[in-house]
Amino acid sequence: MSPASTIGEGVAVTYTEPAYWCSVYYYEMQHRVGEPFNASKPILTIDGFTDPSNDERFCLGLLSNIHRDNTIELTRRNIGRGLRLYYVGGEVFAECVSENSIFVQSPNCNIRHRWHPATVCKLPPGCHLKIFNNQEFAGLLSQSVQQGFEAVYQLTRMCTIRISFVKGWGAEYRRQTVTSTPCWIEIHLNGPLQWLDKVLTQMNPPSEPCSSFS
C-alpha cells in the first residue's frame, strides 16, 4: 500500500513509484561532469572503470572534464569498484565496494541517528549504510504538512544524498565543503521529490518565495 499525506480538508496525496527511482549527478570539485544517470533497476553500481554504462552500472572512467587536475586524476584512479546502491522495499542502502572509503552525507540517515544534519559518515570498504527510508520520510512529511508550506518545502534537501570518493569533507576534514572534494556524486531520489512536489501544489504557497539553503 502506498503511503499518503493528507493536506487540509482531507485531501490525500499518495506516493507513486517513478520509472527512475533516482538520478545520479557526477561532479569533480564544483564542476558537474557528463549527463545525469537515471536508475530504473533496484541495484546500481557506480565505479571508476571505462566500460560503457548500462541500466545497472554507471561507469565514471570515460567521462572527460577540461578542468581536471592531478588531484582529481589520482582520485579517479582510486575509485576502483566504487559503490553499490540498493533500493529495496522503500529503503535505500549504500555499500562501499571500493578498496578506499567513501563518505556519505544523508540528512535522512542523520535524523534517524540523531546526528547533526550536516554530518558526513565515513563508509570503509565492505561496509554498508541505510541512507533513506520512505516510511520515515512519510512521517516527516505528515508532521511538516501541519507546519505549513515552508516546512514541507524544506524537506526537499532530505531527498538529496551526497557521496564523495576517497576524500572526505566537513567538520572532521581539511576540506570543508563537498565541492572541495575531487570526485563526488549527488543522488536525487525522484519518488520522494515528486511526492513533495504534488503535496506542495495542493498547498497554498506563502506570499514570500521559499529559498533553498542546500
> Looking at residues 62-88, what average pLDDT do you find?
96
Task: Show the cell assigned to 117.
Answer: 544534519
Amino acid 213: pLDDT: 44
Amino acid 82: pLDDT: 97
Q: What is the dihedral sign for C-alpha 166, 121, 104, 130?
A: positive
Q: How far apart are CA 130 and CA 114, in angstroms?
A: 14
Percentage, residues of the chain above pLDDT 70:
91
What pTM, to 2 d.p., does this model score? 0.91
Which residue would you say has higher pLDDT here, 44 or 11?
44
Q: State the alpha helices, DSSP H only, in the chain.
A: 70-77, 107-112, 134-147, 149-153, 190-202
